[in-house]
Structure 1
């Protein structure tokens, strides 16, 4: 992997990680376009640069992390379902990760859902008698966590699944999006830690010591990827919250349908696509 490839992939990661468009699907296209070889390090890179995106949430909402202990307990309650589901369904999830067709189909289906989601969960103003929830209860947090489990299927989009879960509990669009961002921190943090451990375990079995885990260039690529993902995600979060609060999710649904359709077209033309 070159620094140029790492830069482009980090930009794609930063833009798509918190938007309801599926970062996995976009990574497939981006990796193919820039010619990234499928190696253990390239796979790890795409997971580890999520750490930079996580830090962007902390930077934007740092004041919110000085709330009561209930804030953290609700995140824990919402986080538990995907931990349990991930452990129970790991074999099936790993198999789906090899299927580009699954990603394309889920992008398409998820897009259709987002096109109509604003009608299913309209945002009523107080003047219209609506009193949307801005902070989930423990029960609502758990239900949102169940929705996040759907994102174990590649192409679903963790952000989209979690936001829809929040809307189903009558959260405002802003509150649903923000809770999805907060929940991303333990979820993506755990995924990053697990992949780092698996990468170390695999190389350690081959006789590689901890100090030899990454070459100097690989360390540079990881630093660049995380810094760029952080900056781009910072901008994406700010723009997304304002856009979705005002306009809803229809535009993202249409975009997903186009991307999913494009992937299916490429597959139909027998273009070689691989999950990185």
Structure 2
């Protein structure tokens, strides 16, 4: 992998992990579209991928550092009783939303990646992801008629569980983790900004945990799993792009509380259809 290819993959990871457009789908489709001969099963690719995920998780931790400091303070009893209760409650919601992805991830990730981890299958699911985003926006108005509230303070454990179950759809390349969780939040009555906020909070342990779980396998790989300078610089690129992405998205969702996901739906349709056409013609 050249430096240019590595930085492009890093930028794609940093952006597509947070934008509701499926990082896994892009990782499968774009190398094929660009004609890159990348050995994603090679011994050097896993350490590279782990560093990219660590960079993305670090960007989320940095952007939402006040949230995480507040949650940690609440758990150890620092602050007013009301603040501690609210922090512990939000921590519980994050845990509830994370559990389904952990369970289904361990059980189904390898079979699903084996079945669907090809460009000609990821591209149609990217189109499906576009429909999820499009109709999630359209159902937003109906969900607002519910009494569940529209911000994280009024979110219940059932809401968190449903968002967590939606997150499991991202095990399929082409289905966006952030998109699925945002739509799940919208359907439970959250505003776009609150849905995105919760989506990014639960993304942090998922992304970081997935990277950490790969470290033993990486260290015991055929070449000892050495992390190269290229991987470290690519991780920095992924982190910078991820930070800018979440900064942009939080402002986008704050300004657009209706049809905020529609532009991403159009993008998914365009890339999915383009990929299907190019790959089909190239066969």
Shift in Å at residue 148 of structure 1? Answer: 0.5
Name the Cα RMSD after superposition.
Answer: 2.4
Q: Pick from 48, 51, 54: which aligns with 1:51?
A: 54
- Matched residues in 1 for 2:55 and 2:35: separation? 21
Q: Pick from 115, 121, 128: which aligns with 1:96?
A: 115
Shift in Å at residue 187 of structure 1? Answer: 0.8
Note closer, same or farther for the CA distance 1:124–1:191 as it changes in structure 2 (3 Å cut).
closer
Q: Pick from 273, 276, 281: which aligns with 1:261?
A: 273
Q: Which sections of structure 2, spanning at least 5 residues, go unmatched?
A: 72-86
Q: Does 1:113 align with 2:132?
A: yes
Residue 89 of structure 1 aligns to a residue whose secondary structure is: helix
- Matched residues in 2 for 1:2 and 1:270: separation? 24
Spell out the pairing of 1:1-276 with structure 2 (5 A cutoff).
Answer: 1-32=1-32, 33=34, 35-38=36-39, 39-65=42-68, 66-67=70-71, 68-122=87-141, 131-135=149-153, 136-203=155-222, 208=223, 212-214=224-226, 218-247=227-256, 248-270=260-282
- Matched residues in 1 for 2:202 and 2:23: separation? 16
Shift in Å at residue 93 of structure 1? Answer: 1.7
**1:274 equivalent in structure 2:** none
What TM-score does the superposition give when structure 2 sets the normalisation length?
0.83
- Matched residues in 2 for 1:164 and 1:228: separation? 28
CA contact (8 A) 1:5 1:36 kept: no
Aligned structure 1 segments of 4 or more residues deviating by more than 6 angstroms:
123-126
Residue 213 of structure 2 aligns to a residue whose secondary structure is: helix
Q: Which sections of structure 1, spanning at least 5 residues, go unmatched?
A: 272-276
- Matched residues in 2 for 1:90 and 1:131: separation? 33
Shift in Å at residue 260 of structure 1? Answer: 0.6
- Matched residues in 1 for 2:269 and 2:142: separation? 24
Shift in Å at residue 64 of structure 1? Answer: 1.0
- Matched residues in 2 for 1:57 and 1:14: separation? 10
What TM-score does the superposition give when structure 1 sets the normalisation length?
0.85
CA contact (8 A) 1:123 1:172 kept: no
Partner deviation per Cα, 1:180-201 (whole Å, 9 max, x = no partner) = 1111111111211222322333
Partner deviation per Cα, 1:240-262 (whole Å, 9 max, x = no partner) = 12223333111000000001101
Deviates more, 1:252-261 or 1:98-107: 98-107
- Matched residues in 2 for 1:144 and 1:183: separation? 10
Note closer, same or farther for the CA distance 1:220–1:108 as it changes in structure 2 (3 Å cut).
same
- Matched residues in 1 for 2:276 and 2:54: separation? 30
- Matched residues in 2 for 1:53 and 1:73: separation? 23
Residue 122 of structure 1 aligns to a residue whose secondary structure is: helix
